[in-house]
């Protein structure tokens, strides 16, 4: 296997200085540092519904559609690029404005945006066996050999955080990519470094909700590779 990435405390200090949790509906932003770790989901969402995490939500299409369709699931989207966090915040606000969504209606009360690094968030802020699903759609493939060490699935701390935070027997990881070589590597690394096992797609899976990248690649006619894993 190729080189491992070097994620150090210094790296996280630089990339997570401004980390925030954003409640779009109520326009509230809290520095991540001000939230006690591990996060108490009940306190964050004011309910005991299951929690699912989307990592690298980009322009936020999946997050918005999933939150709309599954109102009894709490979704927390994690994205490290500020520009995409802001774009997604605006996407929710525009939707609410366009469809005259009343802020008191409860719509999108089940969503929080986390502007931070996913590995930092999972490994420092998420309690063991507290998450029902993790969604990772079109993770950056870093195709050049010298950049491949940046692939998120190369990070063993990240893989172990996925294993640790998913609930046993129900917790599922959803992965989609258009990059065949990376897809093979992801499968191999999940098999070697986690306690997750591949499972067939169910009819209640999220496959019908396309992300922004998926829509773009479908139009281009690219092949899309999907996998679902369950924590044993």
Ligand X SMILES: C[S@@+](CC[C@H](N)C(=O)[O-])C[C@H]1O[C@@H](n2cnc3c(N)ncnc32)[C@H](O)[C@@H]1O
Residues contributing to the site for ligand X (CB under 6 A) = 55-58, 78-81, 84, 117-119, 137-138, 140, 152, 211-214
Cβ proximity to ligand X, 47 vs 125, nearer residue = 125
Q: Which residues are catalytic?
A: 140
Q: How far is CA 132 from CA 34, 47, 58, 217, in A?
A: 25, 15, 21, 28
Q: CA neighbours within 13 Å on the CB side: how many for 61?
A: 12
| Cβ burial 117-127 (10 Å sphere, 16+ → b, else e) | bbbbbbbbbbe
Question: Least distance (Å) from ligand X to the CB of residue 126?
Answer: 13
Q: Which is nearer to ligand X, 58 or 171 (by Cβ)? A: 58
Query: Judged by CB, which is closer to ligand X: 169, or 180?
Result: 180
Q: Which is nearer to ligand X, 9 or 102 (CB)?
A: 9
Could you tell me the smallest distance in angstroms from the CB atom of residue 27 to ligand X? 23
Q: How far is the CB of 90 from ligand X (least distance, A)?
A: 15
Query: What minimum distance in Å lies between the beta carbon of 46 and ligand X?
Result: 25
Minimum CB separation of residue 105 from ligand X in Å reads 27
Q: Report the residue number, 116 or 194, with the smaller CB distance to ligand X.
A: 116
């Amino acid at each position: 296997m190729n080189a491992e990435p070097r994620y150090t405390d210094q790296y996280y200090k630089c990339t997570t200085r401004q980390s925030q949790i954003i409640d779009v509906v109520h326009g509230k932003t809290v520095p991540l540092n001000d939230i006690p770790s591990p996060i108490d989901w009940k306190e964050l969402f004011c309910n005991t519904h299951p929690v699912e995490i989307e990592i690298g939500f980009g322009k936020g299409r999946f997050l918005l559609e999933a939150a709309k369709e599954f109102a009894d699931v709490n979704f927390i989207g994690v994205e490290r690029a500020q520009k995409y966090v802001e774009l997604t915040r605006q996407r929710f606000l525009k939707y609410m404005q366009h469809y005259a969504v009343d802020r008191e209606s409860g719509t999108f009360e089940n969503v929080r945006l986390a502007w931070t690094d996913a590995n930092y968030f999972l490994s420092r802020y998420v309690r063991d066996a507290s998450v029902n699903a993790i969604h990772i759609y079109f993770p950056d493939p870093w195709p050049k050999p010298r950049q491949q060490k940046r692939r998120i699935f190369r990070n063993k701390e990240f893989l172990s955080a996925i294993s640790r935070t998913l609930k046993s027997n129900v917790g599922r990881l959803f992965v989609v990519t258009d990059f065949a070589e990376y897809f093979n590597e992801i499968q191999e690394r999940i098999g070697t470094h986690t306690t997750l096992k591949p499972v067939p797609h169910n009819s209640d899976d999220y496959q019908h909700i396309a992300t922004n990248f998926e829509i773009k690649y479908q139009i281009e006619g690219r092949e899309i590779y999907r996998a679902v894993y369950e924590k044993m």
